[in-house]
Amino acid sequence: MFTGIVQATGKITAVHTSSAPESNLALTIDPGSLGLNDVNLGDSIAVDGVCLTVKYLTNGLIHFDVSEETLRCTQGLNRVGKAINLEKALRLADRLGGHLVSGHIDAIGIVTECAPAGESVILDIEVPSTITRFLTHKGSIAVDGVSLTINQMTDNTFSVNLIPHTLMVTTLGQLQLGSQVNLETDMLARYVARLLNI
């Protein structure tokens, strides 16, 4: 479980076929300023919003296996050199500064607008119609693992405001028109929709 509050940005340094039978790819990640003193084998780390399990650590790098299903549902994990948002799993004593995020991606969105608004940036993201029922004005959404509030919702597009702090400490400031992003909808909205059978 995560909060969508990014702790560091890192970089994918290697991608290769995994020897594990249930995995399709093995990733090596440079965690940047993310502290690894409390990271152990089997721990979960959100990588651009995707919950991955630490396979092993070597020389300050983190190694993960990525399943075929995860690759099917996400974008960017197979790109060497890609800058990524990182967050360690939530501990029960931690502050919940964002919202509850599972690290299970619902869809891939496409950036359709990226407009300056003072020191902030307004981002419009087009989403598949399959997830629009989980999105609402002032609701929560995780974009590449970053907890954001939906400012506006029109048909299959939502808008978010990226404040200067978010632009500084995450990779979202690097997004451009046509960029693809990993999206996780609010888990409470998913459960409510399931209970109401909508």
**12-46 per-residue burial string, b: 16 or more CB within 10 A, e: under 16:** beebeebeeeebbbbbbbbbeebeeeebeeeebbb
- Written as six digits, the tokens of 76 are 């960017």
More confident call, 22 vs 97? 97
DSSP run (H or E) holding 151: strand 146-154
CA 115 to chain centre: 21
Residue 91 pLDDT level (bands cut at 50, 70, 90): confident
pLDDT in tens, 136-195: 999 999 999 999 999 999 999 999 999 999 999 999 999 999 999 999 999 888 888 888
**Cα–Cα nearest to 132, from 197, 193, 71:** 193
Q: Of 88, 123, 145, which residue sits at a domain end?
A: 88
* Same domain as 129, residue 183: yes
Q: Of 88, 121, 146, which residue sits at a domain end?
A: 88
End-to-end CA distance of the chain: 25
Q: What is the pTM of this model?
A: 0.93
CATH of the domain at 165: 2.40.30.20
Residue 20 pLDDT level (bands cut at 50, 70, 90): low
* Same domain as 142, residue 72: no
132 in helix, strand or coil? Answer: helix
Q: What is the pLDDT of residue 188?
A: 85
Percent pLDDT > 70 in the chain is 96
Does residue 135 contact residue 150 with C-beta atoms inside 8 Å? Answer: yes
* Same domain as 119, residue 80: no
Q: What is the mean pLDDT of residues 14-29?
A: 83
102 occurs within a structural domain: no
